[in-house]
Structure 1
Amino acid sequence: MKVALLISYYVLLNIYGFYLMGADKNKAKKGKWRIKESTLWLVGFIGGAIGLTVGMNAFRHKTKHKTFVAGFPILMMVHIVLFSYFLYKMS
């Protein structure tokens, strides 16, 4: 049960991160109100870095911001290690 919750948490959060990148790109194209960078970072810190990184590359969005290009993959690696650790401890 705990493992399923952990997996669900990461999957849903990364889908949300991917969605946020796409939504922000769409808003940028239309000149509308944008998603705050602090919101993107928050989602990355709490576990959505994989979705944000994939979304950044898929939508070609924020790819000129060095902090995003370097930061999200680093967060992604940290979360992969944490996820693996928690899975190991739970099983």
Structure 2
Amino acid sequence: MSDSGARYNPGRPSGGQIQQPRLKLLVFVALCALPLYGSLALWLRGVSVIALAGYGLVSVVAFFLYWADKRKARADTWRTPENVLHAVELAGGWPGGLLAQQVFRHKTRKVSFQLVFWLIVLLHQVFWIDQLFLGAHLLAFF
């Protein structure tokens, strides 16, 4: 029996469909609201377009890294290290990573991976709350 056959889970829905797409879209939009608003605000104030462009570009990179890792997992070949995925998420690619997790149904059940992923998302949310509503004073403590 191949390793991929050992990972088959008959209790998990099959097919390429995203489960509960409306709810997941709502969560995705809600999570992206602060970074998008903050990035747009920086750009419109003439500070920098880097945050806005960065989230978009790095999210595309994250999406394709997840896609490549899923393909490699199915082919039982060398995989993208999790720390690489997390580094790209931390650099602003978490929206692309979140989207890829749902589209490819990849890395959604590994608790240790999800814990780090959601801590990264939380870190980004706290950063933008601080920037937008707390006058960037919270991060001054670090």
In the superposition, the TM-score normalised over structure 1's length comes to 0.77
Check whether the contact 2:82–2:113 (CA below 8 A) recurs between aligned residues.
Answer: no
Moved segments of 4+, more than 6 Å: none
* 1:49 maps onto 2:123 in alignment: no
| Pair member with larger Rg | 2
Map of 2:34 onto structure 1: none
Question: Is 2:79 the counterpart of 1:34?
Answer: yes
The aligned length equals: 89
The aligned residue for residue 106 of structure 2 is 61
The verdict on how the C-alpha distance between 1:57 and 1:75 changes in structure 2, with shifts beyond 3 A counting, is: same
Q: Which has the higher contact order (CA 8 A, sep 6+)?
A: 1
User: 1:54: Cα distance to partner?
Assistant: 1.2
Asked if structure 2 preserves the Cα contact closer than 8 Å seen for 1:49 and 1:73, the reply is no
Within 2, Cα distance between the matches of 1:7 and 1:74?
A: 21
Structure 2 residues without counterparts, runs of 5 or longer: 1-45, 136-142
Q: TM-score, normalised by structure 2?
A: 0.53
Identical counterparts, % of pairs = 30
Q: Does 1:10 pair with 2:58?
A: no
Greater mean alpha carbon deviation, residues 42-51 or residues 63-72: 63-72
CA distance in 1, matches of 2:47, 2:129: 14
Root mean square deviation, CA, Å = 2.2
The gaps in structure 1 that reach 5 residues or longer are none
